[in-house]
């Protein structure tokens, strides 16, 4: 999910700047998808279809918010409330993100640069708001929490891409254009059930070793949301305010019975 106006957070640029926490998800109202990482696939599968997309990193899992590019996103209300049972981690730290810049020479672990979207409307000059820095060139405690969450997510993203590389190496990805009569966005991939059945026992053990079946099965089960997503978007074209679905509604009737969606403990760090 690309954000415009992203710049590195630096003391020279933001030393006397302040920011406010977002109080609305309107920034996500026009998003048709977002990437997810392995630790959240169970929760994501309870609310959204999970597909795969090729990026500069490689294959990554994405959740769909829309199958019609110009229809309303049913997961954001007109007043900016998030209506799904789970908030994907990518959406939790707006307007900040972490971008890998280089590797630590000591242990080859990646290092990340904190960035902020300066066009987000969340930056200010008001000292009553959250400070970027603590008066020196050290990030404020609040922003260090944001940075820790984003770095944990970025690390999980790298591991998820590596996992998808293993799946791709076994030839399991295939283009997917439709599911149960629902046309899907272009350039999406799914897991070939036929190829999965035909791989060797050794390759299946490899998938078990890297815990790939969690992602594979979450993807397969989550596709049951596609039909609901079509109906929801068609209905929203004819009405103004989407209502929050519940565990008894048709979006999640089966999945909510087998998956506990948890927003409060992603990677051991609560959302900011």
Of 156, 149, 90, 141, nearest in space to 114 by CA: 149
Three-state secondary structure readout of the chain: CCCCCEEECCHHHHCCCEECCCCCCHHHCCCCEEECCHHHHHHHHCCCCEEEEECCCCEEEEEECCCCCCCCCCCECCCCCECCCCCCHHHCCCCEEEEEEEECCCCCCEEEEEEEECCCCCEECCCCCEECECCCCCECHHHHHHHHHHHHHHHHHHHHHHHHHHHHHCCCEEECCEECCEECCCCCEEECHHHHHHCCHHHHHHHHHCCHHHHHHHHHHHCCHHHHHHHHHHHHHCCCCCCCCCCCCCCCCCHHHHCCCCCCCECCECCC
pLDDT exceeds 80 at position 36: yes
Q: Give residue 56's pLDDT.
A: 85
Chain segment 209-232, per-residue pLDDT in tens:
999 999 999 999 999 999 999 999
Q: How far apart are CA 59 and CA 255, in angstroms?
A: 25
Q: What is the pTM of this model?
A: 0.84
Q: Give residue 69's pLDDT.
A: 77
Q: Give residue 272's pLDDT.
A: 52
Of 272, 31, 54, nearest in space to 150 by CA: 272
Segment 243-249 long-range contacts (CB within 8 Å, at least 24 positions apart): 243/83, 244/77, 244/81, 244/83, 245/83, 245/84, 245/85, 247/85
Q: Which residue has the higher pLDDT, 80 or 102?
A: 80
Q: Where are the domains of the chain?
A: 6-258
Q: Give residue 244's pLDDT.
A: 52
């Amino acid at each position: 999910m690309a954000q415009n106006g992203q710049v590195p957070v630096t003391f020279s640029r933001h030393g006397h700047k302040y920011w406010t926490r977002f109080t609305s998800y309107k920034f996500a109202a026009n998003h048709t998808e977002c990437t997810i990482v392995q630790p959240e696939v169970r929760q994501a599968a309870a609310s959204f279809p999970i597909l795969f997309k090729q990026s500069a990193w490689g294959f990554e899992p994405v959740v769909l918010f829309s199958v019609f590019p110009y229809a309303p996103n049913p997961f954001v209300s007109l007043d900016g409330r998030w209506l799904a049972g789970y908030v994907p981690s990518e959406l939790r730290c707006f307007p900040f993100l972490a971008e890998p810049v280089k590797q630590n020479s000591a242990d080859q672990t990646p290092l990340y640069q904190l960035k902020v979207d300066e066009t987000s409307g969340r930056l200010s000059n008001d000292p009553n708001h959250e400070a970027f820095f603590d008066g020196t060139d050290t990030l404020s405690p609040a922003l260090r929490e944001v940075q820790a969450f984003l770095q944990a997510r970025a690390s999980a993203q790298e591991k998820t891409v590596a996992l998808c590389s293993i799946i791709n190496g076994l030839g399991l990805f295939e283009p997917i254009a439709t599911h149960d009569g629902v046309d899907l966005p272009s350039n999406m991939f799914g897991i070939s059930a036929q190829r999965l059945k035909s791989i060797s026992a050794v390759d299946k053990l490899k998938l078990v070793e890297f815990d790939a079946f969690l992602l594979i099965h979450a993807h397969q089960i989550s596709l049951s949301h596609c039909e609901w997503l079509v109906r929801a978007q068609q209905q929203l074209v004819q009405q103004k305010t989407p209502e929050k679905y519940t565990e008894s509604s048709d979006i999640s009737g089966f999945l909510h019975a087998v998956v506990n969606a948890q927003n409060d403990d992603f990677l051991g760090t609560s959302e900011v």
